[in-house]
């Protein structure tokens, strides 16, 4: 630390690194390691690293992998075979490959080009799309592998080299704010004792800085020139995926004879993709490279994902293929039977093999192959072309949705793959990261409780919304739950909060459906969002107990490990701070705002500019005697200081239950009020911490300090336990000062988004690398947790963990799971919500094969699940198991490299293009700027895309059955003579021009309801979750509709046209007339059918539908005008033969009406008697029966919200029940008070006297 503030940054950094942090810390970071050398050389511990001599790692047996990393699915060699394999996983593509091969033979009734070209086009487009997506991954890999780092090349010289050139054994120098290029062994740092700060946000999502410290023996290598003589050997564990363990030894010495072995631990291990912070530079030696690094071991290869609709479409193709085989078999048998009856074929010398009466088996087989090609229109390859086009256009609409654009960052939602658009409408489970996904990575000081009085607290939105719905316009109280009178002294009372009618009305429009505009309320100081005039601007000095106020602020300004940094803004007299945790930075900023500015520190002193009771500013020095740092087991931190007058104080901050247990009898004055304030803060989702202090006598401190020094000098496994026991002796008999509440700030709209998703029927799990307390607070802030929930905590007890026995841990976890399940079974009828919180160690045990089903059964039974201390590999494993166990559509969302495995494993992966780089985005299927955009992406675009694709596929099946079966029916009518009803160009035109554009418009532009209605009625989303629009019931129904329509068209055309004359001259129809008329009715019928399906018409649909019908006649005119050698039997057919005949137009009109009548009747019956949710909304909206503000509309809107146990709405419902209960208690209390009052009794006993 600089002894004084200086504008010279170089001077400040020089002084900064003189501070020996190891003298301040007590516990785990600096305790001696107890690794045993006996394991090295055994399986699992064979890694040998020759430090500063990477040339030895160029040859075996010490040759290890390179440092380049790839996330692509393909390379130059594997691209074509692997992509072809992916394409021909589709059943239809295999069929068309077979047909294309047969088309080259004489059996084909059409030209080979008409069958081969569509297949090449479809497969080519899909392969090209896969290649473009993988190219983007390659560019991202190239950017990472090309990053520069300084590498020692000999003679104490360091040069810049790219990451991919690093080898095991290289010595590198990493500067502040740079990422580590590989897994490194820390040798030294800019601090004198080799300490450095590391941010592991990309690995575990934690924003807290981790402290690493090198070995004492390598401290001297702190300058580039000194590395020309550095030689050492590292023997350590083999590459593995455990982020939190490292076992190894460092052998250091001038020669083998005097080599000394030093144990290594995670304290000296720096992981790839973690970031150097608060440290100017570090030197390290490369231990693991590329695919051997722990972060890469936690990653997964990019999987190939196919949507459920597409996989189900394969089964539809199976059905259609079975139908094709059936009618082909019928055609071949029929041909054999009738060929035998045609006696004249036996007289021909040169008989066609397909019609050879002398060889019926060969004829039948050839006719079977011919039928497979002819009736292949039942399985349309154009369906895949259309789906690819539609999905691409859907992705363009998503990318260009202005409501999915974030003005703050200038980024928008991007569909990185179009394969999974419809999956967005079927999601049932969301697995979300916390840091950077739900939160902004920013801490804000919000509230505090001092002397039993709460400051900075206004009414939260939950209470406002509950009050609004209860029609409480003036006041809403938080009452004493003990039934006591709510009017009491401030120190003993529960906080009483008023809500004015103006506040309620003001919050009406933004509680559920809007954004909260808080910009006008925010202070300009980053990290400080506190509003209370009683404390600001030195007003606190007018309080009744200034001493406790000052002690409170001193705890805030002194109990930390922070470093003051000069503010770069000109004319600013406030400092910035760097600290191990963001909470400490927040406390220091708040203390500065309250008038207690921590300005500098030395090795033994801390200096604070304070406001004294006279409102003048003075600088005071506090001698730092001891620092007892925070740990997950202690859950508290203390500093022992001596002030300028010689008094010794212990300042302590920590979790409420930990501090309360250590309060003295005279230190509990404010405990009751503080406890109630803490409950209110926690309900708001704020992180809370309690402050306390203790004045220590000199003799007491001397005695304790002697014991502490002895414990600190112990080397062995009992050292930490001894230190904890000694610390317990001094951290007792504390005096409570109050509590603070900080906000791990959620991203804008997160709570509202979660609420809407919950109403849509989605369950949300939170997977984070953060500690449990932090994750639980975020759970409350985001409304994933409620205070009336039954909260199950799954964790390994300390006793069992210390034994480190797998069986004991399994039994412990299994007992907890069974106990929790029993609670759920016993209280299932009460409709109470349950939530599960699991820590990393317990999760590791719970995911073992023999108990994972028990764990998943419990987790799925809970409304909300929060997993803490989760490694990237565990995130991916949980996602895989949830997907497999539940069978539900899963979506994973995250923003860091630690989320890549989870994103790739889920059915849909969402990457947030936030602060943590592009790893998550590059691995994702969709990228969004902030979590709140997930609401519109799923509930609007997901719903639309699912319904569009479902309708499109069903319609495609319908129209191709109609078209294909008319060919079969005519084949039967003609006694399997081999004549084809339609001209070859008719066959090509049907799917290529005459029906392609309407179906594409259906897949791109169809909307059952508008986007606003989707958001107002989130229950519509459940149609996709239930698979209503692509169920087998619907599929069979549309197949049946196609079969019925084809029968109607064939029968009516044949039996209306055949018996009578077609033209005035008495001419009857021939195959050309019948084929053209039948084909015309099909074109009209299928295009009118799509008009009945569409619920949202635009001018584009009208042009495509009616234009397709019109283009058929244009085609007939042009085709018929060609010379007979080209047009053949269709020569001037429309102009001279069919067009002038009234019968043609009558038949077309009659057949189209009768063909569409069954579907029209079905539609009327369904909408009249069995309407779906969207039908009701359409009738209300477009039938103009009601307006948007009508009572019926509001009632439908309310009923559309699925009853949920998480989300803002669920918390409001719970708060209403709570407030009603408190109002009832107050009412009964008043009635009881009046009933028992002396006045009431006197009136009751003397009614006549009082009447007089």
Report, as residue numbers or ranges, the catalytic residues.
433
Rounded CA gap, 361 and 367, in Å?
Answer: 10
Cα 170–Cα 175–Cα 180 angle in degrees, nearest 5: 55
d(CA 915, CA 702): 48
**Cis peptide bond upstream of 61, omega within 30:** yes
The dihedral through the CA atoms of 1234, 1237, 1240, 1241 has a sign that is: positive
d(CA 921, CA 2) in angstroms, rounded, equals 41
- List Cα–Cα distances, 428 to 886, 1027, 1181, in angstroms: 10, 11, 28
Distance of CA 877 to the CA centre of its chain: 15
1231, with CB counted inside 10 A (0-12, 13-18, 19+), is: exposed
Cβ neighbours of 198 (radius 10 Å) = 21
Residue 518, C-beta contacts closer than 8 angstroms, at least 6 positions apart: none
CB proximity list for 183: less than 8 A, separation 6 or greater: 269, 270, 271, 272, 286, 287, 288, 289, 292, 293, 294
How far apart are the C-alpha atoms of 680 and 193, rounded to whole Å?
A: 44
For the residues of 1129-1160, what is the DSSP string, one character each? GGTTIIIIIITT-HHHHHHHHHHHHHHHHHHH
Q: Which two tokens stand for residue 556?
A: 């805030």
Contact 489, 496 (CB under 8 A): no
Residue found by looking up tokens 């003005």 in the block: 407
d(CA 1086, CA 958): 8
- State which H helix or E strand residue 188 sits in: strand 183-189
The 3-state secondary structure of 769-833 reads: CCCHHHHHHHHHHCCCCCCCCEEEEECCCHHHHHHCCHHHHHHHHHHHHHHHHHHHHHCHHHCCC
Give residues with Cβ within 8 angstroms of 1105, minimum separation 6: 998, 1001, 1087, 1090, 1091
Angle at 783 between CA 782 and CA 786, to 5 degrees: 140
SS3 state of residue 97: helix
Length of the chain: 1252
Q: Residue 405: beta bridge partners?
A: 412
Q: How far apart are CA 1091 and CA 1105, in angstroms?
A: 7
Task: Give the CA dihedral 486, 489, 491, 494, nearest 10 degrees.
Answer: 10
Q: Is the separation of the CB atoms in 200 and 212 below 8 Å?
A: no
**What distance in Å separates the CA atoms of residue 383 and residue 1003, rounded to the nearest whole number?**
11
- Pairing mode, strands 148-154 and 171-175: antiparallel
Tokens describing residue 756: 């809407």
C-alpha 1026/C-alpha 1029 separation (Å) is 9
| C-alpha to C-alpha distance for 232 and 251, rounded to whole angstroms | 6
**Helices 91-102 + 308-341 axis angle, to 10:** 30
Closest CA to 265 of 285, 250, 245: 245
């Amino acid at each position: 630390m600089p002894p004084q503030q200086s504008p010279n940054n170089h001077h400040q950094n020089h002084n900064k690194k003189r501070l020996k942090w190891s003298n301040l810390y007590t516990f785990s970071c600096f305790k001696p390691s107890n690794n045993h050398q006996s394991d090295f050389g055994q399986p699992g511990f064979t890694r040998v690293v020759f430090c500063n001599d990477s040339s030895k790692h160029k040859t075996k047996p010490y040759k290890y992998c390179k440092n380049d990393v790839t996330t692509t699915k393909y390379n130059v060699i594997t691209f074509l075979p692997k992509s072809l394999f992916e394409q021909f996983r589709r059943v239809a593509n295999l069929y068309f490959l077979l047909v294309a091969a047969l088309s080259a033979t004489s059996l084909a009734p059409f030209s080979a080009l008409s069958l081969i070209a569509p297949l090449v086009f479809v497969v080519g487009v899909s392969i090209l799309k896969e290649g473009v997506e993988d190219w983007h991954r390659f560019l991202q890999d190239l950017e990472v592998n090309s990053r520069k780092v300084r590498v020692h090349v000999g003679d104490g010289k360091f040069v810049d080299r790219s990451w991919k050139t690093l080898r095991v054994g290289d010595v590198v120098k990493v500067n502040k704010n740079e990422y580590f290029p590989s897994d490194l062994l820390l040798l030294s740092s800019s601090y004198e004792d080799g300490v450095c700060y590391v941010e592991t946000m990309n690995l575990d999502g934690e924003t807290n800085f981790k402290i690493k410290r090198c070995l004492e023996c390598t401290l001297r290598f702190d300058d580039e020139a000194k590395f020309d003589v550095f030689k050492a050997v590292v023997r350590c564990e083999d590459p593995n995926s455990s982020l939190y363990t490292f076992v190894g030894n460092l052998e250091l010495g001038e020669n083998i004879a005097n080599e000394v072995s030093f144990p290594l631990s995670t304290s000296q291990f720096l992981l790839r993709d973690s970031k150097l912070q608060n440290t100017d530079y570090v030197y390290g030696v490369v231990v693991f490279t590329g695919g051997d690094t722990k972060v890469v071991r936690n990653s997964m290869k990019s999987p190939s994902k196919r949507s459920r609709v597409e996989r189900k479409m394969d089964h539809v193709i199976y059905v259609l293929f079975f139908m094709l085989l059936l009618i082909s078999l019928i055609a071949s048998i029929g041909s054999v039977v009738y060929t035998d009856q045609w006696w004249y074929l036996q007289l021909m010398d040169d008989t066609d093999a397909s019609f050879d009466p002398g060889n019926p088996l060969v004829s039948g087989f050839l006719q079977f192959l011919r039928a497979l090609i002819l009736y292949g229109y039942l399985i349309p390859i154009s369906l895949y072309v259309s789906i690819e086009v539609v999905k691409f256009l859907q992705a363009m609409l998503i990318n260009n949705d202005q409501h999915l654009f974030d003005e703050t960052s200038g980024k928008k939602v991007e569909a990185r793959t179009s394969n999974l658009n419809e999956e967005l409408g079927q999601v049932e489970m969301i697995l979300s990261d916390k840091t950077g996904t739900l939160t902004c990575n920013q801490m804000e000081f919000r509230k505090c409780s001092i002397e039993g009085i709460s400051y900075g607290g206004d009414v939260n939105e939950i209470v406002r919304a509950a009050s609004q719905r209860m029609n409480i316009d003036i006041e809403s109280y938080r009452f004493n739950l003990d039934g006591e009178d709510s009017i009491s002294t401030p120190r003993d009372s529960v906080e009483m909060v008023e809500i004015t009618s103006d506040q309620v009305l003001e919050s009406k429009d933004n509680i559920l459906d809007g954004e909260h505009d808080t910009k006008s309320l925010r202070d300009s100081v980053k990290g400080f969002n506190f509003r209370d005039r009683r404390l600001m601007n030195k007003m606190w000095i007018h309080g009744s107990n200034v001493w406790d106020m000052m002690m409170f602020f001193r705890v805030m300004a002194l109990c930390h490990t922070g470093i003051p940094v000069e503010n770069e803004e000109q004319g600013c007299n406030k400092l910035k701070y760097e600290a191990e945790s963001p909470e400490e930075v927040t406390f220091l900023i708040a203390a500065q705002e309250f008038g207690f500015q921590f300005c500098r520190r030395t090795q033994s002193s801390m200096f604070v500019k304070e406001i004294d009771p006279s409102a003048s500013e003075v600088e005071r020095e506090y001698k730092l005697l001891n620092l007892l740092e925070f740990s997950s087991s202690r859950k508290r931190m203390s500093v022992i200081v001596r002030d300028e007058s010689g008094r010794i104080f212990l300042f302590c901050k920590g979790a409420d239950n930990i501090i309360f247990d250590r309060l003295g009898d005279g230190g509990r004055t404010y405990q009751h009020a503080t406890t109630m304030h803490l409950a209110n803060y926690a309900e708001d989702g704020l992180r809370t911490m309690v402050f306390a202090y203790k004045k220590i006598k000199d003799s007491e401190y001397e005695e304790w300090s002697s014991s502490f020094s002895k414990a600190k000098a112990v080397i062995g496994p009992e050292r930490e336990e001894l230190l904890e026991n000694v610390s317990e002796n001094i951290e007792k008999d504390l005096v409570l000062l109050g509590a603070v509440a900080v906000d791990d700030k959620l991203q804008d709209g997160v709570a509202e988004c979660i609420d809407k998703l919950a109403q849509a029927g989605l369950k949300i799990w939170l997977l984070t690398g953060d500690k449990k307390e932090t994750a639980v607070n975020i759970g409350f802030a985001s409304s994933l947790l409620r205070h009336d929930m039954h909260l199950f905590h799954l964790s390994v007890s300390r006793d069992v963990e210390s034994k480190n026995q797998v069986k004991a841990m399994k039994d412990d976890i299994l007992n907890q799971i069974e106990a929790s399940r029993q609670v759920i079974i016993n209280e299932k009828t009460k409709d109470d919500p349950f939530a599960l919180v699991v820590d990393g160690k317990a999760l590791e045990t719970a995911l073992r094969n023999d108990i994972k089903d028990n764990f998943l059964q419990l987790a799925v039974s809970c409304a909300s699940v929060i997993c803490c201390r989760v490694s990237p590999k565990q995130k991916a494993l949980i996602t895989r198991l949830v997907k497999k166990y539940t069978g539900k559509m899963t979506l994973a969302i995250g923003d860091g490299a630690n989320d890549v495995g989870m994103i790739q494993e889920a059915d849909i992966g969402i990457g947030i293009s936030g602060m943590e780089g592009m790893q998550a985005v590059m691995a994702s299927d969709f990228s969004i700027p902030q979590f709140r955009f997930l609401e519109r992406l799923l509930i609007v675009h997901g719903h639309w895309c699912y319904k569009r694709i479902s309708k499109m596929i069903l319609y495609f099946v319908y129209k191709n059955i109609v078209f294909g079966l008319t060919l079969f029916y005519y084949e039967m009518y003609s006694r399997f003579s081999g004549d084809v009803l339609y001209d070859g160009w008719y066959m090509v035109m049907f799917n290529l021009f005459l029906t392609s554009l309407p179906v594409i418009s259906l897949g791109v532009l169809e909307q059952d309801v508008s986007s606003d209605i989707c958001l107002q009625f989130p229950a519509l989303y459940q149609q996709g979750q239930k698979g209503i629009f692509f169920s087998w019931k619907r599929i069979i129904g549309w197949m049946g509709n196609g079969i019925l329509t084809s029968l109607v068209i064939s029968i009516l055309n044949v039996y209306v046209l055949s018996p009578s004359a077609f033209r005035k001259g008495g001419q009857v129809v021939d195959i050309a007339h019948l084929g053209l008329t039948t084909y015309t009715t099909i074109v009209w019928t299928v295009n009118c059918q799509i008009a009945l399906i569409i619920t949202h018409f635009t001018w584009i649909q009208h042009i495509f539908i009616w234009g397709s019908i019109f283009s058929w006649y244009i085609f007939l005119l042009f085709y018929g005008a060609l010379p007979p050698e080209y047009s053949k039997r269709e020569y001037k057919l429309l102009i001279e033969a069919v067009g002038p005949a009234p019968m043609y137009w009558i038949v077309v009109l009659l057949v189209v009406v009768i063909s569409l009548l069954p579907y029209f009747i079905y539609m009327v019956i369904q909408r009249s008697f069995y309407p779906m949710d969207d039908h009701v909304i359409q009738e209300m909206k477009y039938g103009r029966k009601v307006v948007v503000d009508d009572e019926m509309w509001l009632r439908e809107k309310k009923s559309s919200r699925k009853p949920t146990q998480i989300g803002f709405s669920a918390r409001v419902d719970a708060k209403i029940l709570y407030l009603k209960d408190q109002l009832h208690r107050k009412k009964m209390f008043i009635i009881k008070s009046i009933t028992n009052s002396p006045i009431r009794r006197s009136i009751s006993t003397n009614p006549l006297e009082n009447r007089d």
